[in-house]
Structure 1
């Protein structure tokens, strides 16, 4: 006797599954943050989602979740984040709270990055105080609203904006940023 089964291939269904799984990866566990500290918890989140982190005092980027540096809790501080092609999304950005040494963030080809991510990151006092360099490129869900929200990053020295099709009024957005942050070096190819 032969069993026949029909396999239904639904690209939308698979995408829905991956979106759900990525949402799980981005879930914030506030108890874990209290237990292990914000830097370790953020590093775990970022690596789980396919990003890389660089710790203060280290030159190399960490990509392997199991290769995170060990030692006393709170010893290793995140200095850089390269979230290129990762699945980080708005719901995970609470992990950035408490990162006191974050100087560099790169968001390239991040399909879940949207205005709310940039607004949330820009509203965090710790990020406002420490972030010096930001790159946002090929993130199709970022619009003028998200770019303009970056004006709160008062210590930002370098901003790269590239391939953001959602930005419709380039001149107005860049003018608002430059007015708020006259010392900011902006490289754009919108």
Structure 2
């Protein structure tokens, strides 16, 4: 009887694991669809509107030049391309953006700031692709992104106009001090705020 119970428990455990894997695979597939780059859409409605669709679809928000608040509603995006709607800031906190969608950034000529906080699908390739906007990006935040490494963070030194970089809680980065030295050497005009996780969590 006990062996039968054990067998049933094992089957239930396997079923739960299979369901979990299926659910995870579904979300990975869906995120892949949401991040698919569509150059024809850019031709149809312009780069800023197309990028806004991608970002908001993935749970991010955009701020237009001159706007006070971030735009988060897909259904109220401008219907067509207009010079009145140029993306100046991106807040991708808790979004599902992936490197596959980053070609949308290429023609965002007014993009000055991007916040990448808790972006679980983001890795080094995405950080390297920020070089598509090396002539406009001034502020970048990379916080609690577990899949980025030293190489990805160091690639941000190619952003020639970058004057502020915030880094925090990046478990994939092995040598924080080497990162600071790298930016001091290759982009000395940029202020790098890279707090140590252990120091930040110590009680005052």
Q: TM-score, normalised by structure 2?
A: 0.85
For residue 66 of structure 1, give the secondary structure of its aligned residue in structure 2: helix
Detail structure 1 runs of 4+ shifted over 3 Å in the superposition. Answer: 69-75
Q: How many residue pairs are counted as aligned between the two chains?
A: 181
5+ residue gaps in structure 1? 1-5
Partner of 2:109: 100
1:75 aligns with 2:45: no
Per-residue deviation at 1:72? 5.1
Aligned to 2:120: 111
More helix by share: 2
Corresponding residue of 1:186: 192
- What is the distance in 1 between the residues matched to 2:117 and 2:109? 23
* Residues 36 and 74, structure 1, Cα contact 8 Å, conserved in 2: no
The correspondence for 1:48, drawn from 57, 63, 77, is 57
- 1:46–1:52: 8 Å Cα contact kept in structure 2? yes
What is the SS of the residue equivalent to 2:141? strand
Secondary structure, counterpart of 1:98 in structure 2: coil
- Aligned equivalents of 1:146, 1:174: Cα separation in 2: 14
Q: How does 1:76-91 map to 2 (within 5 A)?
A: 76-91=85-100
- Aligned-residue offset at 1:35: 1.3
TM-superposition CA deviations, 1:96-150 (whole Å, max 9, x none): 010000001000000011000001112x1xx111111100000000100101100
Higher radius of gyration, 1 or 2: 2
RMSD (Å), alpha carbons: 1.4
Whole-angstrom distance in 2 between the partners of 1:34 and 1:75: 18
Structure 2 portions without partners, runs of 5+: 1-11, 197-204
Tell me the TM-score normalized by structure 1. Answer: 0.91
Is 1:173 the counterpart of 2:179? The answer is yes
Alpha-carbon offset, residue 71 of structure 1: 5.9
